């Protein structure tokens, strides 16, 4: 592919500041790229012939002189509807050579490929939702069967108050499970309202500690490392409690033979170098919640899918796959984000960042 070639002289004002440029030479490829003719433009100002290129030439020249080396960039020019790869250098002070390579076809083909990949991924998600919606229906069916069965028993045992009490407790338990599943679905669909209040995350975890110990069991040691001077964050207590419980239960399931669960809070200042690794993050003051376990860990494939709705590694009937997608949705509504690192056999670390 022949590069469009442009050779120009930089024009300065009375203070020596570059403000325009003059064409000294161009090649046929530059003519085809821009639609100008060499015979008509040599000696004329770039701003006069191609106004849209004037400021770009000046800024590029300033960068080349300032850095003392050639300049490389990819730019899209609306006026000619083209993507160009640009290499620029200054042979002597006051002159600039620019090479333009038309990469429009490549960039558009790349975009079409990405669009197709995105559509494929979306269709795969929809297929997953369709398959696992049956799993939710199965869970509901089991719950309703339990409710109906124990209700029938309660009616038969109406004269035996002790047995009646047990049956009614089982009905209540099954109904609570059904209500919890509906609650998760509402959060997932973002139709459940939230109530944000200035709260201390360490205090919330401290109040949950006794319940966590009962849920986690005696085989797993819980270590709380809570910052006593934690910054305040705007939190929906109920939803954040659910996040903590969901992650703790997942950690428990990953440590069937026992282990250690660490829950930690700390103040974090996010800087620009962190954003280079995590583009969805932003700079500022954040409260960080870390939940770390010594469980079986996760494969790279699992890590890529864990926040997808209805994705689960549990056996049929043991989970709906909504847990982590609900966690993700809650944290996103808190204007925060969540990261996870894990290796097979080396446990998992979840980190949640909430704006202080």
Question: d(Cα 186, Cα 199) in Å, to the nearest integer?
Answer: 24
Query: d(Cα 94, Cα 12) in Å, to the nearest integer?
Result: 9
Reading the block at residue 265, the tokens are 């809070």
Residue 348: other Cβ atoms inside 10 A: 23
Given 75, 102, 129, which residue is the final one in a domain? 102
264 and 205 Cβ atoms separated by less than 8 Å: no
Question: Within a domain: residue 111?
Answer: no
Both 142 and 257 in one domain: the answer is no
- Above 50 in pLDDT, residue 253? yes
Q: What percent of the chain has pLDDT over 90?
A: 31
pLDDT at 311 over 50: no
Q: In this structure, what CATH number is given to the domain that contains residue 89?
A: 3.30.450.20
pLDDT (tens digit, 9 = 90+) per residue, 126-150? Answer: 555 545 554 565 566 667 677 777 7
- The pLDDT confidence band at residue 320, using thresholds 50, 70 and 90, is very low
> How confident is the model over 280-308, as pLDDT tens digits?
788 889 999 999 998 888 877 777 666 66
Higher per-residue pLDDT: 121 or 34: 34
Q: Does residue 110 fall inside a structural domain?
A: no
SS3 for 15? Answer: coil
Q: In sequence order, what are the residues at sequence separation of 6 or more whose Cβ sits closer than 8 angstroms to the Cβ of residue 276?
A: none
60 or 184, higher pLDDT: 60
Question: What confidence category does residue 216 fall into, taking pLDDT thresholds of 50, 70 and 90?
Answer: confident
Q: What pTM did the predictor assign? A: 0.48
pLDDT at 213 over 70: yes
- The two beta strands, 18-26 and 95-102, are unpaired
Do 165 and 215 sit in the same domain of this protein? no
CA dist 182 → 15, 137, 177, 244 (Å): 71, 11, 9, 19
Exposed e or buried b for every residue in 3-27, given b needs 16+ CB within 10 A? bbbbbbebeeeeeeebebbbbeebb
Tens-digit pLDDT profile for residues 1-34? 568 999 999 999 888 899 999 999 999 999 999 9
At residue 45, the pLDDT reads: 92
pLDDT at 307: 64
Domain of 294 in residue numbering reads as 197-355
Mean pLDDT of 221-244: 90
pLDDT score, position 30: 92
Mean pLDDT (whole number) for 112-134: 60
Q: Which of 145, 163, 188 is the last residue of a domain?
A: 188
Domain count, the chain: 3
pLDDT digits (tens, 9 = 90+) for 149-200: 777 777 677 666 667 777 777 776 776 666 666 555 555 444 446 678 999 9
Task: Please report the pLDDT score of residue 224 as a whole number.
Answer: 93
Q: What is the pLDDT of residue 128?
A: 54
Antiparallel, parallel or unpaired: β 259-270 and 220-225? parallel
- Compute φ and ψ for 322, nearest 5 degrees: -95, -20
Query: For residue 142, which of 164, 168, 175, 186 has the smallest C-alpha distance?
Result: 175
- Give first-to-last CA distance, the chain, whole Å: 53
- Same domain for 244 and 302: yes
Give me the CATH number covering residue 182.
1.10.287
DSSP H stretches of helix in 157-231: 161-188, 201-216
């Amino acid at each position: 592919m022949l590069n469009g070639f442009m050779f120009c002289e930089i024009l300065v004002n009375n203070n020596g500041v570059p403000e325009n440029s003059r064409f000294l030479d161009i090649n046929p490829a530059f003519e085809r790229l821009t639609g100008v003719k060499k015979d008509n433009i040599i000696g004329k100002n770039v701003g006069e012939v191609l106004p849209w290129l004037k400021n770009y030439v000046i800024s590029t020249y300033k960068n080349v002189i300032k850095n003392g080396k050639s300049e490389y960039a990819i730019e899209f020019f609306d006026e000619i509807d083209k993507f160009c790869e640009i290499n620029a250098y200054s042979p002597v002070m006051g002159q600039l050579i620019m090479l333009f390579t038309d990469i429009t076809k490549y960039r558009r083909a790349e975009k079409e490929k990405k669009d197709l990949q995105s559509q494929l991924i979306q269709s795969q998600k929809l297929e997953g939702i369709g398959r696992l919606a049956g799993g939710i229906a199965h869970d509901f069916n089991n719950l309703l069967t339990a409710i109906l069965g124990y209700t029938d028993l309660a009616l038969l045992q109406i004269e035996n108050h002790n047995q009646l009490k047990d049956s009614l407790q089982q009905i209540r338990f099954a109904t609570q499970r059904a209500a919890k599943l509906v609650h998760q679905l509402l959060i997932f669909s973002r139709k459940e309202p939230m109530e944000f209040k200035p709260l201390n995350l360490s205090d919330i975890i401290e109040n949950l500690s006794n319940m966590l110990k009962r849920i986690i069991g005696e085989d797993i040691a819980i270590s709380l490392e809570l910052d006593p001077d934690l910054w305040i964050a705007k939190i929906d207590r109920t939803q954040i409690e659910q996040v903590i419980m969901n992650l703790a239960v997942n950690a428990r399931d990953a440590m069937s033979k026992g282990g250690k669960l660490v829950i930690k809070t700390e103040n974090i200042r996010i800087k620009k170098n962190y954003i280079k690794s995590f583009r969805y993050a932003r700079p500022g003051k954040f409260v960080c919640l870390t939940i770390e376990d010594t469980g079986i860990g996760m494969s790279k494939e699992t890590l890529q899918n864990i926040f997808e709705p209805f994705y689960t590694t549990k056996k049929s009937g043991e989970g709906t796959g909504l847990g982590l997608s609900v966690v993700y949705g809650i944290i996103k509504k808190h204007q925060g984000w969540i990261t996870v690192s894990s290796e097979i056999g080396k446990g998992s670390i979840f980190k949640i960042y909430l704006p202080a």
